[in-house]
Structure 1
Amino acid sequence: MQYFVPILLNCKNKICCIVGGGRIAERKVKGLMKSGALITVISPNITPDLQVLADHKQLHWVNRVYREGDLQGAFLVYAATDQRDVNDAVAHEARQRGILVNVADRLEEADFITPGIIRRGRLTISVSTAGAGPAVTSEITSALDTLFGNEYEPYLDFMYDMRQAIKRIVSSPQQRAKLLRRLASSGILEQIRRQEFTAWTQKEMDRWIAQNQEE
């Protein structure tokens, strides 16, 4: 079995090129939308949803078939057509240029794969079944989607703000870690779930840090 290294890529302001304009290409585009990537779609035909995105300048549509040289300057490439020879040509050019490439339906030829994703603000959970199939990935993703509800978005925003406050006030790495562990076990998440939590002011954050440093 082929194993992939799970990583999260920063695609902001980087060219991500999708060759193909069908449903698979559409899924790849939607997965990139919130990343800040500069999305280019190369295909003579695209889905209605991709057309809307192109009309609103949310992606650059090259309205023609792929040509060698189209991948120049790309950071990531998706070969997502329904034509094997085109996908092979895209993968070949990408590798010649040292660009990571995802090849639709050919796990063994891909430098990376696109997992199932759950997002809750700062929380990102990715699910891959290493080729067992999108149906299985979708089933597992749905189960995790139920387990990690919308309460995680405000919870992680709160934890982020508190971490910044702790870093500002506390110099000791050991003491910082101790405070963050105590905060994580303080029941804030359950308060948010029960809608009993009110966002802390900066003064309340500083007071909690001061009180818990003393203990």
Structure 2
Amino acid sequence: MKELLPLMLDLSGKEVVIFGGGGVGERKASLFCDHSRVTVVSREFTAGLNQLSRDGKINLIDVNEITDDEISQYLENAFIVIPATNDIILNERIAKLAEKKGTLVNRVDGIGDVLVPSVIRRGDIVIGISTLGKSPALSKYIRQRIEEVITPKFELMSDLQNEIRELLKSQVKDQKERSGILWSIINDNEVWDALDESYEKAYKVASKHIGK
């Protein structure tokens, strides 16, 4: 089993090339198109992929049989390649050619260089859950359980922490003291309760911790 390091990547300006225009290819394209340039190479495309193309979110390349030289050509500027055809042998050919070029591979039928976790987003809070491909159902279950705890209110707390942290940088020189104030705010139930009413009220309550 590979040991994978969880990372967050800025894919803006990067190219993601997907081979396969079926349902899996569509899901991958939908995921990556808001974060990177996406090209889908296939002999046919789902209605969803065609719509993404019409919306200008992805580029479609229509091919029939494809040679290794053509695959290599499509991989030329790829940062991540996703072999997602219904042909296992073709997927393996694509993966091996990508690996030779040093291109990251996201496999749909096993563990490649890149795994896409199940994700929870609460504003700038991002939580990824993965079972390293063993059980997508369990990843989904864990995500649902965490969502019960990490509610949308955490997004407001993140914003509040950031605003007060910036304020403290100009008012409190000692880093440990700043950290202590921020922790006291996080652990103050009155602040959390105030967030249910308004951000402004929570800020007012949290401000009481400054200068204690």
User: In 2 relative to 1, CA 3–190 (structure 1 residues): closer, same or farther, beyond 3 Å?
Assistant: farther
The match for 1:95 among 99, 102, 114 is: 99
Gaps of 5+ in 1: none
Shift, 1:114, TM fit:
1.3
User: In 2 relative to 1, CA 214–169 (structure 1 residues): closer, same or farther, beyond 3 Å?
Assistant: closer
Shift, 1:54, TM fit:
0.9
Is residue 214 of structure 1 aligned with residue 207 of structure 2?
no
Shift, 1:41, TM fit:
1.5
Aligned to 1:149: 151
Return the alpha-carbon distance in structure 2 between the equivalents of residues 154 and 59 of structure 1.
33
Amino acid at match of 2:193: E
Aligned to 1:86: 90
Q: CA RMSD in A?
A: 2.5
Return the alpha-carbon distance in structure 1 between the equivalents of residues 89 and 118 of structure 2.
27
Aligned to 2:168: 166
Return the alpha-carbon distance in structure 1 between the equivalents of residues 63 and 170 of structure 2.
53
User: In 2 relative to 1, CA 197–83 (structure 1 residues): closer, same or farther, beyond 3 Å?
Assistant: same
Amino acid at match of 2:17: C
Return the alpha-carbon distance in structure 2 between the equivalents of residues 47 and 197 of structure 1.
44
Return the alpha-carbon distance in structure 1 between the equivalents of residues 146 and 153 of structure 2.
14
Amino acid at match of 1:11: L
The match for 1:191 among 168, 189, 194 is: 194
Shift, 1:212, TM fit:
3.9
Question: Which structure ranks higher in relative contact order (CA pairs < 8 Å, sequence separation ≥ 6)?
Answer: 1
Residue correspondence of structure 1 range 1-215 to structure 2 within 5 A: 1-34=1-34, 36-65=35-64, 67-68=70-71, 69-107=73-111, 110-187=112-189, 188-192=191-195, 195-199=196-200, 208=207, 212-215=209-212
* Structure 2 SS opposite 1:112: coil
Return the alpha-carbon distance in structure 2 between the equivalents of residues 94 and 166 of structure 1.
48
User: In 2 relative to 1, CA 214–75 (structure 1 residues): closer, same or farther, beyond 3 Å?
Assistant: same
Per-residue CA deviation, residues 149-191 of structure 1 (Å, 9 max, x unaligned), is: 2222222222223223333444432222122212212233333
Gaps of 5+ in 2: none
Return the alpha-carbon distance in structure 1 between the equivalents of residues 210 and 157 of structure 2.
22
Per-residue CA deviation, residues 46-85 of structure 1 (Å, 9 max, x unaligned), is: 2222221111001112222553220111111211111112
Asked whether the equivalents of residues 156 and 199 of structure 2 are also in contact (C-alpha less than 8 Å), the reply is no
Q: Tell me whether 170-179 or 82-91 shows the greater mean CA deviation.
A: 170-179
Shift, 1:199, TM fit:
2.9
What TM-score, normalized to structure 1?
Answer: 0.83
Number of equivalences:
206
